[in-house]
Structure 1
Amino acid sequence: MDVWLKILFYISAFIIVWAMIGYPLSLKVISNLYKTKRLEKNFSHTPSVTVMVVAHNEEKVILDKLHNIVSLEYPKDLIEFLVSSDNSTDKTNEIVKDFIRSFPEHNIRLFEVKARKGKTNAQNEAHKTVTTEYLIMTDANSIMDKSAVSELMAAFTSEEIAYVSGRLSIINHDVSDVSSAEASYWDGDLASREIEGRIQTITAGNGALYACRTKDYNDFNPIQCHDSAMPPYYALQGKRAIANHDAIAYEKAGEVIEDEFGRKVRSNRVLLSQILPDFRILNVVKYKWFTYFYLGHRTCRYLLWIAHFVLLMTNIFLVDDHFIYSMALVGQLLIYSLGLYRAITKSKNKYLTLIYYYLVTILAQWVGVYKIISGEAKPFWEKAESTR
């Protein structure tokens, strides 16, 4: 019995350490082996493009978004704009229609989705009306840099590249400790994605800004999100999903823990199926670095919820076996206690906040798993007001 407990203990410990420390460090080592490999760009590549904005009850931000997209620096005769309104019941549609009437010189269309089924479904439906060569997707509350479209298109330097993700820049990182912790998380994750994409392919994108060829678009199940579904989908086709972090979208992170927790629960609505979405990923001979990237970056992170539970449970049974297990248990209890202390006192200490934020992330995974098992996971959600 002790042997199995120890095996489970060390496997769980490895998953946690590798996901948070080992994998990012290994990427830095691997990156040194590919110093000469750089992101290639071709700014003469200016195909026809549709910028799609998905919105549900975004009356607070949609006008700013419309002004933002029509000011993008790209040949006017090669760019179209499409707002896919996911059954909006506020003034979103009215604002878009008024804007279209006021600025007839811009090629803007409103596509009204009749039944609310979430962002991915709204993209699936609206995509069928797109006739341009490329499709760029962006969120209603994200403000795109003027050069974002040019940067995304410049990164499609070959047919091998099927997907390009931009960079999400958090603009309110100094407003609260919660938004600061989220910005720190993104900084680390972006560094990993830059290396993955430069070497072969990224394992996930971000919903604020990304692009694909219109002909390569796939109708995913509405419960899925493009962030996690698209890059693996293309990688398994032998194509590349890359990141061009010079294509920037500016967005607010949640400023209160309730908003960030809710967002993380939503992002985990298909967590169980993401652990290993396709067994072909294990074919390292065929998929090479993508296998390593996915298992290290995604699979290990998607297993953190159960890894922490198993580590604690096995540690309790092994505590008298060796002083190492005693120290490990003290360490775990200390981490949980510090997180609880931060939750109760709302301390502004940077390190306590990072611990607290990490534990909230793990709790969000547990809630996400519960919703999946109970059938409560939905393809749509209520937006976080502090991000608007």
Structure 2
Amino acid sequence: MIEFKLPSMGADMDEGTLLEWKVKPGDAVKKGQIVAIVDTSKAAVDIESWQEGTIDELMLEAGEKVPVGTTIATLLEPGEPPPATRPARKHLHEPGSPGAQAVAPPGPPAGATVGAPIARRKVSPAARKRAQQLHIALDTVTATGPDGAVSLEDIERTAATAGAAASKAAAGERLAAMRHTIAAAMERSKREIPHYYVSETIPLGCMLAWLTARNARHSIEDRLLPAVPLIKAVALTLRRFPDLNGTWRDGEFHAAPCIHVGVAISLRHGGLVAPALLDTDSKPLAQLMRELIDLTGRCRAGSLRSSELSEPTITVTSLGDQGSSEVLGIIYPPQVALVGFGRIAERPWAELGGLKVMPTVTASLAADHRVTDGHRGARFLVELGETLQHPEELDP
């Protein structure tokens, strides 16, 4: 029997709340199949099964919050029979279980005189029925109907106002929680990881000319943004620098067998998330563009997959046209490197004894000094620049 535990989806995730099971006991599941949806401080995440098996028992109910690493289900391996018996599991609020409390029946409101008649509000039958459906207390409704009666319109207006306020409060709470978790992860990063920084200004004349010609041959739906060849160039260069592609765990570096570039994406209401473009180095640019658009849309809709959050082996942050000329990032643990791209801008450029105007970008590398040093990091940026001088090789 296999214990299916709540996976960690980044250094800034300590716990999650189960929103929904997508399977039930007895269901056969395949590797990569979505089995549950869990809410984190950043998004509702689709939890994928990491192997094949049969669901034996679901250990959580919707709404329960548990720490990372908690067993949330058990799986039977292919061919394994279910257990003959299993211990009964008490729910948190079952009678006699820890945390259960006796609840006294409600008494009269404070200050009320026992036995005194309570005046009944005038409420239209339709309004009373609608209030019951929406669980709205009639004494919270401002009446505007004839003779001071509560009308159906009063109920709908109260529901809309309460819904908007609840939505705004929930969004504010989520943003505050996200800021807290991001700050905690970055504080841990700066405290535990000995960062070093190097940067390099890279000419982009060849790459942008190639990109313009390439886009002219394709429809609007198939055109590329400059960020995509930059990301692909990072992935290809990492093949020659495996010591920048991996994680630091249990006191040592673990090189990753694949290159999964995490892409920093800003969310509409604030905050940041960096899910992975899986196998970035082996995919055509057009596919990466489609996946980046899909990833950005799902990030901002709050719907991601657990593998996209748990498997980045390095992170790239690109500030775009509205950003500053350079960005010096903070490594996202347990990764050991982060590549930053500032705003693409025209600058004076000396070449072959002459001076001209050239579109350039400043690339930076934040890396873990426990794994590499500044000379190694500088070589990576120089070779990244060389890779971008041959854009046709990015998409063979």
State the TM-score, normalizing by the size of structure 2: 0.25
Larger Rg: 2
Q: Which structure has more helix as a fraction of its residues?
A: 1
Higher RCO (C-alpha under 8 Å, 6+ residues apart): 1
